[in-house]
Structure 1
């Protein structure tokens, strides 16, 4: 494990809030998978695939995919039962990993730069471990790798639901009691440390996502069964056997970036550092004042860390694509909207293992060091 580097902010696209990227239905193995495309904006861009978390969708990657579009030709998929994808037969980490593998094979774009948030982090760890031929680099944002103290997660209060026969009916009833606006607010409060970082456009999109869930009769069952599958994978990871997510993480050999938010309320905040220690070729970025979905809350900071990873993994020493201006060393300079990252360890900003800064909407700057 080593500290993550940060690419200069001024080499990223200007601040703006893009609309959701266009999507399409693709029939894969008899069911529909919904895919959003973020086309590359420069020649030489390499393929990337983004995988969302439990209860999320491909729309969670809008900002980050846009910021990386001159380096990466992005696609984001809705996992079975979520977003606009049709329901699946099984809702386990191995089943979702199989779907990701099948999509990469079907799209014939591998190897890809693979991204996973939360549940998507667990899924992509499995993909990278078992199919390294399909993965160039791996970026994990608050990965839902195993931990047993559920007091450290708001999801812990859902555990009794798993013991109730047909608990998905109770979950569906609960969904029906809340207006989409109320549910969207609750979801954002659980996932995001500072809601002032979320634009009004993203808030409206979140409400629309909730409306889609209400219209999907399968959603409550998909959510509960996926949560049950994730908890089951946590328990199995501490038993003998080859299916342990921690043992799989230890076998990942591709260059990996692990991002964690210190105010994560859904995944134990100790998981991201542990993942970085376990994965051999890893870089760790811990973000102060950030929650569970750093790619939504501070997308520019995450993009800078990703670009530094791509530069390190590239034989040319710079990220793929671009216009040739990205040869500056990671951490050099302080671009517009960069709050001036500093490390508590005294390292220069470009090599900070613990970032204590973030950039808000519209170029607003804020120092989180206190």
Structure 2
């Protein structure tokens, strides 16, 4: 199956009540929504290209590109930024009643929104490089190095900034290739409206409200949850995932050394095994 899986062979646009949403879909079985993180040029496919061929042998993998990224609808302060609503509409449009959610960074936050607000629609929650925000003990004050780079690249999507961005996301510099930076740059510049909209949303203070409200409800969640984090993450400190593990009753934490913000890329084989085993045994 993996030999036939490409971006083009899995790509389609799904029309929902309020959005057009890009998905890349492969495989059969229990559905998994795979949701990317924030950052210019991010898409579901770019975040999970290394995982879909393997996991689609056992599951129906649906890499989602959220409104505000890729070929999906714009989302802004004016039009609203409710990623939970967008996901719920996508599930309804695809005829999926219940699914696992696998999310990197912001994608983990979206999975948490679904788990908190629509628990009957979520079978499992898997986050990586995400977590729950709160009073920090170990995390340095102010924006992390990775978040500063994200803001800088949204403001100035130059090749140099994209190269710097992918280098920060990875522990192992061999993964931060010029080809990866070029792909992210090209994806971002295809829809420059997404860049300005993201900055408008963040500067308005509306970027994290839904995630914070969802996190406050996770202490009563019954959904099996796997929390994965890179020990060397320079974008979201692993303290957030430790807090998530302490907050969510039915959760377990995997902390990976020699791993940055993209565990699904840097440790793809181990990540795939963790996800597959978790979904099959819980």
Instruction: Tell me the TM-score range normalised by the shorter chain.
Output: 0.7 to 0.9
Which structure: greater helix fraction? Answer: 2
Pick 1 or 2: higher relative contact order, CA cutoff 8 A, min separation 6: 1
- What is the number of equivalent residue pairs in this alignment? 272
Corresponding position of 1:296: 265
**What displacement does 1:133 show?**
1.2
Give yes or no for contact 1:35–1:78 (8 Å, CA) kept in 2: yes
Q: Distance in 1 between matches of 2:128 and 2:99?
A: 17
The answer for the alignment partner of 2:207 in structure 1 is: 230
Which residue does the alignment assign to 2:31? Answer: 47
SS of residue paired to 2:13: strand
1:74 to 2:61 alignment: yes
1:204 Cα deviation from its structure 2 partner = 2.7
Gaps of 5+ in 1: 1-12, 162-169, 238-242, 314-370
Give unpaired runs (5+ residues) of structure 2. Answer: none
1:69 shift after superposition: 1.1
Alignment of 1:1-370 (within 5 A): 19-20=6-7, 22-40=10-28, 45-55=29-39, 56-59=42-45, 60-90=47-77, 95-143=82-130, 145-147=132-134, 149-151=140-142, 153-155=144-146, 157=148, 174-175=156-157, 178-179=158-159, 182-197=160-175, 204=179, 206-227=181-202, 228-232=205-209, 237=212, 243=213, 245-313=214-282
After TM superposition, the score normalised by the length of structure 2 is 0.85
Deviates more, 1:45-54 or 1:25-34: 25-34
Q: What is the DSSP-based 3-state SS (H/G/I as helix, E as strand, rest coil) of the residue aligned with 2:259?
A: coil
User: Whole-Å Cα distance in 2 between the matches of residues 92 and 151 of structure 1?
Assistant: 29
Cα distance change on mapping 1:256 and 1:94 into 2, 3 Å: farther
> Which deviations, in whole Å up to 9, do the C-alpha atoms of 1:57-81 show, x marking residues without a partner?
1121111222211221111111111
- 1:352 aligns with none
Give secondary structure in 2 for the equivalent of 1:305: helix
Offset of residue 253 of structure 1: 1.3
CA distance in structure 1 between the aligned counterparts of 2:80 and 2:244, rounded to whole angstroms: 17
> Who wins on radius of gyration, i.e. which is larger?
1
Q: Secondary structure at the match of 2:66?
A: coil
- 1:94-143 CA deviation, whole Å, 9 max, x = no partner? 70111111111211122111111101111110101111111111111111
Describe the SS at the equivalent of 1:292: coil
CA contact (8 A) 2:146 2:165 kept: no
The answer on whether the counterparts of 2:132 and 2:243 sit within 8 Å (CA) in structure 1 is no
User: 2-side partners of 1:75 and 1:216: how far apart?
Assistant: 22
Paired residue secondary structure (2:216): helix
Larger mean CA deviation between 132-141 and 142-151 belongs to 142-151
SS of 2:182's partner is helix
SS of equivalent residue, structure 1 residue 218: helix
Question: Once superposed, which parts of structure 1, at least 4 consecutive aligned residues long, lie more than 3 Å away?
Answer: 18-21, 89-94, 147-152, 155-159, 170-173, 225-228, 230-234
Does structure 2 conserve the Cα–Cα contact (< 8 Å) formed by 1:54 and 1:119? yes
For residues 171 and 262 of structure 1, do their structure 2 counterparts lie closer, same or farther at Cα, with a shift above 3 Å needed? closer
State the TM-score, normalized to the length of structure 1: 0.66
